[in-house]
Structure 1
Amino acid sequence: MRKYAIWIFALVALASCGDYLDIKPQSEVDRESLFQTEEGFLEALNGVYSRCIKPELYGNELTFGFLDVMAQNYDVVDVTNTLFPYEQTAQYNYKDKDFVKRRDAAWIGLYGAIGNCNLILENIDARENIFTGDNYLIVKGEALALRGYLHLDLLRMFAPSYAVGPTAESIPYVTRYSNKVVQKVTVAAALDSILADLNNAKDLLRSSDPILNGAYVVGYTFDGDDGNTLPDDGSNEEAGALFLRNRRHRLNFYGVCGALARAYLYKGDKENALTNAETVIASKKFPWTEPNDFAAVDEAKKDRILYKELIFGWEIPNYTGALSDRFQRGSIGLTLKQNSCDFIYEVAAEGAEDLRYKQWFKFASQGTTVSLEKYKRSNDGNMHTIMAPAIRLSEMYYIAAECVFNSDSERAWRYFNEVRLNRGIGGLYEIHGEYDPEFFYTKLSKEYRKELFAEGQLFYFYKRLNRPVINQSGTETYGPSSQIFVLPLPDDEIQFSGN
């Protein structure tokens, strides 16, 4: 079995009132000092989140970047002054220097964050007595959940899908902060480890996470992005100690359920995927966005990203300008043509009233470039802090629909139609006569694309089901193959750093 050395000398970034301080790498003194207090553990965990929102990870590329380019969501052209040279990535040229740079940065960044999770987990049990309240359970639960979540995305990028190669070699599953060589494991073994970490996290958070409290109400952060003020609607999402605020900005109990639903479905275990998806749905903790909020004319009252429906998201307060550059800079940004946008949202059929089509895209004149405004900010005056969506309520409905389709197609369509109704689409789907799985999966793939546009999930959907990638005009130009779906691993003996 080929080996990859995981030399994890990751910086542990600390967070205090939004300011981050890097602990010196390879410093045993600093590590010992950090994990002597509860505050040190909380800061170390915040450091994992701060690492994950860097541009090479969920603050940019893994949410808004190369994964959606590979899913053919944009009209990528070769413009000499482009800020984002993705043309070769859109053609799956994985030897292109720009792609290699992004791929390597994602690999290094994810394993760096995993290394920080491992530092926390290796020190926390011996310090359980220093924690107050349920913080020991929450910190350990989130660290385990993040380790599983990050490995799942590495697996979905760098290994064959479970459906086509469960015994194939995949990635190293790293559970120790060490300079020891870590061998790659099979796809099945990696998934088992991911599920174990996520299930252990779920057990810890089940008895400790404030989001499970009946009094915890999901609301908006009306008064700015600092998270220090109570929303005007009486919601208590901002209430409590700083560490316990905004649980949806952290990998909370329901976020873990969502990640488990993804991981189980990736393994083809629909029973457990359904159980976890329905746990989120049945909680009724995440209300559908009101049309008046989605379509509000007043920018200060507008909710473009459907904030209340986010089960888990990455808070990225410093990325407003970067996202404006990425999506709203005409030919030098990531854009698409209006006819492509019209096709994706099925405007010629039932999609003309789709609120996503109306609210997420800026149209100039017919046939011109369309700009994505899903992440547009108005001097930070929107109803919520700026977020990179990670797990949505709607995805849980899609997962539930897929899980029950073979046994109860009517129930599947009810899940499916629930999302469509809340996006302003009146036409509902239902099965008449012959059971037709291909019709269902074709419609499901279209809805995944509409709902999760510029969120980095569509490529994983095609890969999991081994379905061809559809371009903006509906052509199956890119058939399913390992040459497309399995990103080549970086060179041997990669040394990881949190820098």
Structure 2
Amino acid sequence: MKTKHTLYSLMALLILLQGTGCKKFLDVKPEDKFIQEQVFSNRATINQVLNGIYMQLAAAPLYGQNLTWTLTELQGQRYNVPSGGSAWTAFATHNYSDERVMGAFAATWENAYKAILGTNNFITSLSKTSGILNENQQNQLLGEAYGLRAFIHFDLLRLYGPRYAVDSALTAIPYYTLPEAKPEPILPANQVMDKIIADLQKAEQFLANDPVKTKGVNNLVQNDGNDFYETFRNRRMNYYAVKALQARVYLYRNDKSAALEAAKAAISNETVFPWTAYASIYTDKINPDRIFSNEIMFGLQNPNMYSSNNRVFDGSLTDAEILASQPARLTTVFENLETDYRYTTTWLFPESGKNYRSFFKYADMVDKTLIRRMFQPLIRKTEMYFIIAECEADKTEQLRVLNQVRFNRGLVNLAATVTVNTELRKEYQKEFFGEGQLFFYYKRLNITSIPNGSAATGNITMNAARYVVPLPLSETITR
């Protein structure tokens, strides 16, 4: 028992080391190496270190807020932000020289690279172990880590990198693969993309025997020693999430044939991520499944979801504090269709008496035992249908996959005469509220005019200055 307690203490210290500044973390002293060796000599502590990385990603500077429902959504003009008097104004106007904006994006950058460096340490250390995990377990954890490294770098590229469609040769970000105290060069965007794709190929190979393929997401804990490897696979990087991320990456690179192939592979087994039942979404008035949890291919357990939610979406906040959509703009997005599940379950009039709807997607549930509680969506299956619709040459097939999504959102089929790309943009606007994907959709296509979130009508002009977040001073002044 004493040995077990000591190992857990060592594991906690290693996670603490990963949470310190990047350069301090990379500067591994002899005593730190001893701790590391101890931690990676025990299966339970190896698992806990990987869990620590997922916990880092769920923090507010990353996917627990900034990259999901605040910064990237403000960039994409999701909310009605007053021109003066709101702490969010500089974010919504893409004022990247504003001190508060600079600080927020610097925190995202620094925390992302801390997570990357922790992942690199995990890959390096786990690769050196032998006899602690069986081959399938070791491969699975390595596959998750390579997938996470690609996932984080890709979002940094999408946020801080150039508009890839027109400026792929411009410098973007560094790509870290080793836990060394040496700054890596800032690479052109196309070279970063090569490294992302290479990591995803490794992840796919290591996850070839992922239990998600045979046992699905598997939310049933058995306490048989295999739970860490076999359960809650949608809360960890898994084989199908890697294929989905490949589809997302290839489409960003405008390699539509590769994106199409990966997207189809990602949803090839419909039993793993089934469509969310109508009863769970609409009939259950007390605990509606507003996130369509069955369909999330990869997400995180966000323990601070509801406290963070209340700080930005709670109806008791003032008009200058709350993040809410402009009423007429919201009606336009959902085409005034009250049957759309994404509208009627998520956008409600708060009890505070406000005369406009506020965002309830991440509001807490009455039943605190529900598995979907605190589940932060990062990749969902509907995106794969949208990718197929965009990349497929046959219009009949494009409409079939779009209509499949619409059917599962309470909408009727589209007419055969519609313009598919127009309908796709509408679906991106409806589907990904609070998930940060709309801004990246606009940037990928280099759309030069997008709806003004702070007005009932009209657009704002988008260009490189608005789409590209400058690298933080902490990164540039040390080079």
Aligned pairs, how many? 451
Identify which range, 178-187 or 303-312, moves more after superposition.
Answer: 178-187
CA–CA separation in structure 1 for the residues paired with 2:185 and 2:415: 47
Does 1:30 pair with 2:18?
no
CA–CA separation in structure 1 for the residues paired with 2:354 and 2:172: 43
Per the alignment, residue 163 of structure 2 pairs with 161
Normalized per residue, the structure richer in helix is: 2
Does 1:312 pair with 2:293?
no
CA–CA separation in structure 2 for the residues paired with 1:69 and 1:239: 43
**Corresponding residue to 1:358 among 344, 362, 385:** 344
Per the alignment, residue 459 of structure 2 pairs with 477
After TM superposition, list the pairs within 5 Å mapping 1:8-157 onto structure 2.
Answer: 22-24=15-17, 25=25, 26=28, 27-77=32-82, 85-132=87-134, 134-157=136-159
* Deviation, structure 1 residue 296: 2.7
* Deviation, structure 1 residue 196: 0.5
Identify which range, 29-38 or 274-283, moves more after superposition.
Answer: 29-38
Question: Relative to 1, partners in 2 of residues 1:109 and 1:322: Cα closer, same or farther, differing over 3 Å?
Answer: same
**Identity rate, percent:** 31
- Maintained 8 Å contact 1:409/1:431: no
**Corresponding residue to 1:457 among 430, 437, 442:** 437
Per the alignment, residue 176 of structure 1 pairs with 178
* Deviation, structure 1 residue 474: 7.2
Per the alignment, residue 420 of structure 1 pairs with 406
After TM superposition, list the pairs within 5 Å mapping 1:263-342 onto structure 2.
Answer: 263-284=249-270, 285-300=272-287, 302-329=288-315, 330=317, 331=319, 332-342=321-331
* Deviation, structure 1 residue 125: 2.3
CA–CA separation in structure 2 for the residues paired with 1:358 and 1:50: 31
Per the alignment, residue 435 of structure 1 pairs with none
Question: Relative to 1, partners in 2 of residues 1:253 and 1:454: Cα closer, same or farther, differing over 3 Å?
Answer: same
CA–CA separation in structure 2 for the residues paired with 1:59 and 1:212: 28
CA–CA separation in structure 1 for the residues paired with 2:203 and 2:8: 22
- Maintained 8 Å contact 1:163/1:464: yes
Provide Cα deviations, 1:62-95, integer angstroms capped at 9, x if missing partner. 1111100110110012675x6xx21111011111
Provide Cα deviations, 1:458-481, integer angstroms capped at 9, x if missing partner. 000000001132224575633331
* Deviation, structure 1 residue 44: 1.7
SS at match of 1:22: helix
* Deviation, structure 1 residue 416: 1.0
Question: Relative to 1, partners in 2 of residues 1:63 and 1:50: Cα closer, same or farther, differing over 3 Å?
Answer: same
* Deviation, structure 1 residue 319: 2.3
* Deviation, structure 1 residue 131: 1.1
Question: Relative to 1, partners in 2 of residues 1:240 and 1:495: Cα closer, same or farther, differing over 3 Å?
Answer: farther
- Maintained 8 Å contact 2:260/2:388: yes
* Deviation, structure 1 residue 229: 7.7
- TM-score, with normalisation over the residues of structure 1? 0.84
Provide Cα deviations, 1:145-185, integer angstroms capped at 9, x if missing partner. 00000000000001113211121111101111111121011
- Maintained 8 Å contact 2:378/2:435: yes
The code of the aligned residue for 2:451 comes to: I
After TM superposition, list the pairs within 5 Å mapping 1:390-405 onto structure 2.
Answer: 390-404=378-392
Provide Cα deviations, 1:271-295, integer angstroms capped at 9, x if missing partner. 1111111112221121111111101
**Corresponding residue to 2:424 among 421, 444, 457:** 444
CA–CA separation in structure 1 for the residues paired with 2:378 and 2:203: 17
After TM superposition, list the pairs within 5 Å mapping 1:197-276 onto structure 2.
Answer: 197-207=199-209, 209-213=210-214, 216-218=215-217, 228=221, 240-276=226-262
Question: Relative to 1, partners in 2 of residues 1:23 and 1:33: Cα closer, same or farther, differing over 3 Å?
Answer: farther
Alignment gaps of 5+ in structure 2: 1-6, 18-24
> What is the RMSD of the two structures over their aligned residues, measured on CA atoms?
2.7
Does 1:368 pair with 2:355?
yes
Deviating beyond 4 angstroms after TM superposition, the runs of 4 or more aligned structure 1 residues are 18-21, 227-230, 364-367, 473-476, 492-496
Alignment gaps of 5+ in structure 1: 1-13, 222-226, 231-237, 433-438
SS at match of 2:357: strand
- Maintained 8 Å contact 1:218/1:308: no
Identify which range, 379-388 or 319-328, moves more after superposition.
Answer: 379-388
